[in-house]
Amino acid sequence: MSEKTGPEKQSGTQLWAGRSSGNLSSIAVEMGESISLDIQLYREDLRASLAHARMLAHVGILDRAELKAIGDGLRQIRQEIESNSLPLRPELEDIHTHVENRLTEIIGEAGKKLHTARSRNDQIAVDMHLFVRRACAEIGAVWIGLLESLSKAAAREIDTILPGYTHLQVAQPVRLSHHLLAHFWSFARDLGRLKRAAKTAGDLPLGSGALAGVNYETDREFLREELGFTGIYANSMDAVSTRDYLLDFLYALSVFATHASRLAEELILWNSLEFGFVHLPDELTTGSSIMPQKKNPDLAELSRGKSGRMIANLMNLLVNLKSLPLTYNRDLQEDRQPVLDSYRQSLLIGRALQAMIEGAVFDRGRMRAAVERGFATATDLADALVSERGLSFREAHHLVGNLVARAAEHGTTLAGAPATLREAVSPLLKDDEFYTKAISLSASTERKVSAGGTAKHRQEEQLQHAGRELEVWKDFDWRSPDLSLASEDR
């Protein structure tokens, strides 16, 4: 078969040609490259390469001079990448090949020895494991900052009363602290899921080779200790083909994004003219290109929008994996896009929500007025009729529903309903002292004395609990890998 010529022919040498001629068509190069994404893994790849070189020297495959040359070369490559002076060549496909190609250019034949006893299959596996551990530590720090902002806002707004909603209809009065802490606990659970993802990425895959192990007496325990892993994969086929740790990572980020979207949606609603519960600072909003009066909550809208993208990233990888036979298949190269994208988006969303919570000014008057307009203490009145007037709850429920309907017809609230209107519904409602006490907003919140309720002393307990939770997370060791290239030779 004759070779192709013209624009579809890619000239140049392919480092991993093997039995192939190494001459790839332009579409093969374009479709096969991943360097445009996995250049973001350069720190992980360089650190894992240095650990591998040290292990090879430890078992006698490299001599001391070769190890030093490789270490110096890897440090030079890192400088070149960080100064944007290392050319990225699509025909070299990935970060691993770029590193080895450049290392050989710098130090000569010793650079070619680095790939002894490893495969690109276990290379990308160890890079992604290291990345997930680093990413969990970075994301965790941002989410902890969000928890702090919610906790501080809750403490500040403990005496602010607003409507609690079901079906987006005014339901019962709650303290704003209670509402904010509900979001706090959702995000705290997200940290628990992130912790699990970091733990799942704690086993070392490097040393598994392509799939079956390697033909050398290597020391994987040395590698485990060198790279700070907590364990070693028991099965080399599993090690190079599993992406469970990435699914755990993407799942944790997807649930966070779902929680973030719910908070963002509330900020969007509350910032509207119709609600008017919150005012966001100018620096966190944007104007309209045509309507000068607009002040749009773009950060909240973008956070809400990005949540769908992050959920799709999880689905992307799940569908990719569902029919793959063991072990490595090129399909797995597609894991980088969803993982790297969700990593970045989760950091952006966490920072955006924290900024909005810290900058939010809550309109306490509008919130209180909404509680009153929505007849939010109707249940309290029914309960008072049960406990103090001896009605069954079903009777009380019907009676108060009738009162609400009458008040709505007259354009008034429960607090504004005159005694004549109340008496027309039932003589039991005529007593001003009984009635006023029953529908009091502050009294309503104070009656919710069950654990986890909105009564002030329960809120104070919850804030203390939240404080302890925060301290636990601040002290948590994410075991983020050390990706520095220390110059010591072992």
CA distance 253 to 351: 14
Query: How does DSSP assign 407-462, residue by residue?
Result: HHHTT--TTT--HHHHHHH-GGG--HHHHHHHH-HHHHHHH--STTSSSHHHHHHH
Among 358, 374, 362, 439, CA closest to 175: 362
**Spatial CA neighbour of 92 closest among 5, 32, 21:** 32
> 44, 208 in Cβ contact below 8 A?
no
Alpha-carbon distance values, 473 to 129, 142, 218, 251 (Å): 22, 11, 37, 20
- The yes-or-no answer on residue 167 being catalytic is yes
| Cβ 183 vs Cβ 157: under 8 Å | no
CB-count burial class (<10 Å; 0-12, 13-18, 19+) for 51: buried
Other C-beta atoms closer than 10 Å to the C-beta of 393 total 13
Closest residue by Cα to residue 303 from 343, 339, 258: 258
Give the residue from 70, 108, 110, 114 showing the smallest Cα distance to 96: 114
Residues in the chain: 490
Asked whether 233 and 203 are in contact (CB, 8 A), the reply is yes
Query: Of the listed 2, 11, 167, 450, which one is catalytic?
Result: 167
DSSP string for 74-92: HHHHHHHHHTT-S---GGG
Omega cis (within 30) before 116: no
SS3 of 349-404: the string is HHHHHHHHHHHCEECHHHHHHHHHHCCCCHHHHHHHHHHHHCCCHHHHHHHHHHHH
Q: Are 296 and 273 in contact (CB under 8 A)?
A: no
SS3 279: strand
Spatial contact of 134 and 339, defined as CB atoms under 8 Å apart: no
Which residue is catalytic, options 25, 36, 272, 288?
288
Nearest-angstrom CA–CA distance, 264 and 307: 10
Catalytic residue ranges: 167, 288
